[in-house]
Structure 1
Amino acid sequence: MGTDADAIEFGTDGWRATLDVFTTPRVRMVGQAVATYLDGDGPVAVGYDARDSSRGFAEDLARTLAGNGIEVLLSERDCPTPVVGWAVRDHDLAGALMVTASHNPPNYNGVKFIPEGGAPALPEVTDRLEELLAEPETVPELDHGSVSETDFVEPYLEHVLEFVDADLSGLTIAYDAMHGSGRDVTGDLLERAGADVIELRCERDPEFGGTPPEPEADRLHDLIETVTEGEADLGIANDGDADRISVVTPEEGFLDPSLQYAVLYEYLLEDGSGPAVRTVSTSSILDKVARAHGEEVFETAVGFKWVAQAMEDHDALMGGEESGGFGITSHLRNKDGVLIALLAAAAEAERPIDDRIAEIHDEHGHVFQDRISVACPDARKDGVLEELDGALPDELAGAAVASVNTVDGFKITFEDDTWVLVRPSGTEPKLRVYAEADSPERVEALLDAGRDLVEPLV
C-alpha cells in the first residue's frame, strides 16, 4: 500500500500516533477502510475528543464515509468515548469512529473503530481494516450519504440516570475532568442525581494544562487535597476521553483501581448476580470478594477488547482492568468512566466507600501490587517468552509455584494467591513484571525474582 498505509497500525485500543504521523491523508484512509468494511451499511456515528485537531479529523472521516454513500451522525460537540459507544447500541448503528488519543499527551491523536453493539473491535476486525486501507473513493454525488450533527450526550445521560438508581442528595463530590471530554457530562450527571459538585479542570484546554490527561495519583493533587481535607465526600476523575475513572476517598485518598473494582462489584452483588471478568494484571482481591459471594472470576489478556468478549461469553455482571477501565454488561460491553462515576457515587451514598474498603480488608486482608519494566527490544520479546516457556522454575522467591497461566505472557501463582506476571508491553520496547502479595516487602522480593528471571534472556 505504500508508506501512508504502512504507518497505520491498530494496537490495543485503536491507532494512535503523534501528529506528524497522524495526518489527514492517513485518517481518510482509515475512513475508507471502514466504509469498505461496512460495504454500504450505516448509519455510522463519528465522535471526537477535546484535542485541537480532533474536530477536523472527525469531519474528514465523516466526509469520507458520506462519499461512500453512508449516512453519518457527527457529534455536535467533543464527547466521551463511552457516549459514542452507547450511541452505537442505542441507535442500532453499523458502528462508530471515535477520534481520540485518550490519556496521551496533546501532541498525539488517534482513532478507534467501534463495531455494531458498541463493544471494542477484536483483532479480526482491526486486522481486516488494516488490509482495507486505501485512498478515499466516492460514489456519484447524488448517492452521497448525509452528515447530520447529532446530540449524543443528552440521550446517554437520560439512559444512565434510569440505569443507575442513585439519589445523591446531601453528597458533595469533587469532579476533575482533567480538561477532557468528561466536562459538562460526568459532572452534569452527578448533579442531576442530586449531588453538589465541585468542579476541577472542567474548562476545555486542548493542552490539558500541560500534563497528559491520565488520572493517576501524581496528577490529581488538587482532587486528593479537596477530598482528604474534608471539602468533599468523594472525588472522581476521568481521563481525556472519559472511558476510565479514578476515585478518591477521605481515608484512602487515591483508591487503587483493583480495590475500586472490588468495591463496585460487591455493591452490584447486593441486588444482582453474575461472574466478573478481569485482566491477568488486575488484583486477586476481586477473586476473594467473588468467592465470598459464590461467584466466579474469569481472567483475560490485557486489553479491554478481551474483557468485553469474556463479558459476553460468560454472561458476566461486570468487567474491568487495573488501569481504571470498567464496564457493566447490561449497559455496554465497553469501558465507561461516566456511568461508573455515578455507580461509585451511588455506592458512597448508600454507605461510605471507606467503610466498604475496611470491611473488605477485615474479611480478606490487605493486598499490595506493583510493577517494574525491563528494557527489551521489540524484536526480542517473542524470543524471551519462548525461552521462558518450559524453563520456568518450580520455586521462585522462596515459594513453590502452584500454577502458571499463559493467557498473556507468564503469570506464576503461588499457593497463597500471590503472583508474578511477565508480559510484553504493547506500546514500548519493554517487558513488564508485575507482582502481588500481602506486604510491600514481599512484592519487592517477587519483582526482584521476576527481573532476575527475564533479564538474562533479553
Structure 2
Amino acid sequence: MIKFGTDGWRAVISKDYTFDNVKIVAQAIADYIKEIDDKRPVLVGYDTRFMSEEYARLCAGVLVANGIKTYLTKKPTPTPVVSFSVKNMNLAGAIMITASHNPPQWNGIKFKGDYGGSALPSIIAEIEKHLYKNEVKFVEPENSNLFSYIDPDKEYFEHIEKLVDLNLIAKSRPFAIIDPMHGAGVGYVKTLLEKYGIKHIQIRDERNPYFGGVNPEPIYKNLGKLIDAVVQNNADIGLATDGDADRVGAVDEKGEFIDSHRIYALLLRHLVEVKGLKGGVVKTFSTTNMVPILANKYGLKIYETPIGFKYICELFLKEDILIGGEESGGIGIKNHIPERDGILCSLLLLEIMAYYQKPISQILDELFKEIGYHYYDRVDLHLPNEIKEKTLKIISQNTEFAGRKIKDIQTLDGYKYIFEDGSWILFRASGTEPVLRVYTEQFTKDEVKRLLDEAVKFIEKMK
C-alpha cells in the first residue's frame, strides 16, 4: 500500500520501495501534472542512497513516456537545490528521490510544487487520487527527445551569494568543519568556502549508502565524528547537513552540540536585528518556546503548525513570512524559496559569528541571558502500532506526569503537556517511520533528562 506521509512517500528498499512501486508513484505524479500544467518541464533529482540514481531514471522514463519534458540532475543533488531550480527555471515541479534523514534501508519520493517547495497537503491528496488509476507508461529516457541531463549548481550558488555576506565571513577568518554525513550536500558548503578562501575541512564526504552506520540526521547521537573533528582540529564551528541537505545541525568550538532550536533562535535574531528583515514567524508544534519569545519581542506575528514543512510552506505562499522552522532542523528563510535549506542555514551561522566576532558558544550564551535558558532533547521509541495507540490513548487522559501537574494538553499534532512553568513534553507518532517520538523542552538539562527517562519508563510499561 503506497501512502504519502509527512513529507512524501517513504518505504523500505526491496520491501515496498521497488522499481514497480516507484513507477506507480511517478505515473500518479505524471497524471497530476498533465491535469494542471502539461506545458512546462519537470526536474528529477536524487540523493546518495542505494540506487537513488536508478530510481530517478525510472521516474524520468515515466514522465517522458507521458509526454512531459524532463530534466534529470547529472549527480546527487540536495533537495533545496532541486527546489530552487524549479522556481528559477519556471518548471511545473520536481521529483526528488530521497528518504531524507531516515535509516539507510529506506528511500522515498518527494514532490516539489512549481513555487519551489514541499507539496502542499492538497497537492499530495490529488497525487494519491491518481495512484493505480492509469496503467504505467515507461520508455528509456535517453531514447526520448523530451529528456536531458542538467547541472543546476551554478545558478543556486549565485543566488546563495546574494543572501549571505561571504566577504564578511572571509574577513573574520573562521575555521569550519563541514559534515555532509555522506549525503547529497557533499561539496556544497565547501564550494563556497573555497571560492572565498575560508578555512575548512570536509569530513564524511565519500559516497556511502550505509551512511557510515548512522542515520544521516544531524542530531547529537549521529555527530560523534563531527564533534571529534572540531575538537581535534581546534575549529571554530562544525556544520552538518542531513541526507538530502535540507536540514542543519551544528557543533560549537568546544565540541558541544547546538540543536535546531538554538539555531532557529540565532537565525531569527540575526535576520531581524542585523539584516533588518521583517515578516511572520512560523514554528511547528514541537519547536522551542524561544521562537515566540523572540517574535513577541520584535512585534512579529507568530504562527504554529502541525509537524511537516508542507504546513510552513503553505504559510510562506499565503503570508509575508520571514522564517519558518521545525524541530528536525529544517528552516526556511525569506527571499529564498519556501523550503528548508541546510546549506543556506550553515552559511548564515558563519555570518552570525563573523558579525559578532565572537565564538558561537558566547553568542548563544548572550542570547540565553536575554531570553532565558532553554534545554531540549528527544527520544525515538520503535513500537508496534497497537502499543503506540494504547500508549497515546492513556497519555491523552493524564492530569499529571513525572510528579508535575499538567496545566494544559494541546493536541495540534500529538499530545503536548504544558506544565505550570510553561515548559512542555510532547508525545507524537512519526509520520514517516514506525516510531513514537517524545520531545521535551525544560529550563535545566537535568529536568530534560528526568522527564525523558520517566517517559521511557511509562511507555515500557505499555508493552
Q: CA RMSD in A?
A: 2.7
CA displacement at 1:400 relative to structure 2: 4.8
Give the direction of change, closer, same or farther, for the CA distance of 1:223–1:379 in structure 2 (3 Å limit): closer
What does residue 90 of structure 1 align with? Answer: 88
What does residue 256 of structure 1 align with? Answer: 259
Within the candidate set 24, 27, 30, 2:22 is matched to 27
Partner Cα distance (2:449, 2:159) in 1: 45
Give the direction of change, closer, same or farther, for the CA distance of 1:138–1:18 in structure 2 (3 Å limit): closer
What does residue 212 of structure 1 align with? Answer: 215
Partner Cα distance (2:436, 2:124) in 1: 24
Within the candidate set 96, 107, 110, 2:108 is matched to 110
Q: What letter is aligned with 2:21?
A: R
Residues 321, 334 of structure 2: 8 Å contact kept? yes
Give the direction of change, closer, same or farther, for the CA distance of 1:406–1:182 in structure 2 (3 Å limit): same
1:38-437 → structure 2 map (5 Å cutoff): 38-39=33-34, 40-134=38-132, 135-137=135-137, 146-167=146-167, 168-169=169-170, 170-229=173-232, 231-251=234-254, 253-270=256-273, 271-351=276-356, 352=358, 353-372=360-379, 377-379=384-386, 385=392, 391-393=397-399, 396-397=401-402, 399-437=404-442
Give the direction of change, closer, same or farther, for the CA distance of 1:366–1:101 in structure 2 (3 Å limit): same
CA displacement at 1:47 relative to structure 2: 0.6
Residues 26, 62 of structure 2: 8 Å contact kept? yes
Give the direction of change, closer, same or farther, for the CA distance of 1:201–1:380 in structure 2 (3 Å limit): closer
Structure 1 runs of 4+ aligned residues shifted over 6 Å read 451-458
CA displacement at 1:113 relative to structure 2: 0.9
1:11-68 CA-to-partner distances (Å, cap 9, x unmatched) read 1122222221322222111111111101134210011112341111111111111111
Partner Cα distance (1:18, 1:457) in 2: 27
Partner Cα distance (1:177, 1:361) in 2: 28
Q: Where does the alignment leave 5 or more consecutive residues of structure 1 unmatched?
A: 1-5
Residues 28, 60 of structure 1: 8 Å contact kept? yes
CA displacement at 1:398 relative to structure 2: 5.2
Residues 72, 145 of structure 1: 8 Å contact kept? no
Partner of 1:286, secondary structure, is helix
Identity %: 40
Residues 425, 438 of structure 2: 8 Å contact kept? yes
Q: TM-score, normalised to structure 1's length?
A: 0.89
Give the direction of change, closer, same or farther, for the CA distance of 1:447–1:180 in structure 2 (3 Å limit): closer
CA displacement at 1:218 relative to structure 2: 3.1
Moved more, 250-259 or 333-342: 250-259
Partner Cα distance (2:402, 2:204) in 1: 45
CA displacement at 1:173 relative to structure 2: 1.3
Residues 13, 107 of structure 2: 8 Å contact kept? yes
What does residue 3 of structure 1 align with? Answer: none
Partner Cα distance (1:321, 1:449) in 2: 25
Give the direction of change, closer, same or farther, for the CA distance of 1:380–1:227 in structure 2 (3 Å limit): closer
Partner Cα distance (1:348, 1:260) in 2: 12
Q: TM-score, normalised to structure 2's length?
A: 0.88
Q: What letter is aligned with 1:308?
A: C
1:248-282 CA-to-partner distances (Å, cap 9, x unmatched) read 11136211211111111111112212232111111
Partner Cα distance (2:182, 2:378) in 1: 28
Partner Cα distance (1:448, 1:200) in 2: 33
Partner Cα distance (2:390, 2:50) in 1: 41
What does residue 12 of structure 1 align with? Answer: 6
Residues 6, 431 of structure 2: 8 Å contact kept? yes
Count of aligned pairs between the two proteins: 448
Partner Cα distance (1:434, 1:199) in 2: 31
Partner Cα distance (1:370, 1:264) in 2: 20
Partner Cα distance (1:161, 1:233) in 2: 22
Partner Cα distance (2:388, 2:355) in 1: 47
Residues 65, 145 of structure 1: 8 Å contact kept? no
Partner of 2:29, secondary structure, is helix
Give the direction of change, closer, same or farther, for the CA distance of 1:132–1:254 in structure 2 (3 Å limit): same
Residues 102, 241 of structure 1: 8 Å contact kept? yes
Give the direction of change, closer, same or farther, for the CA distance of 1:68–1:257 in structure 2 (3 Å limit): same
Q: What letter is aligned with 1:151?
A: D
CA displacement at 1:399 relative to structure 2: 4.9
Moved more, 342-351 or 363-372: 363-372
Q: What letter is aligned with 1:246?
A: G
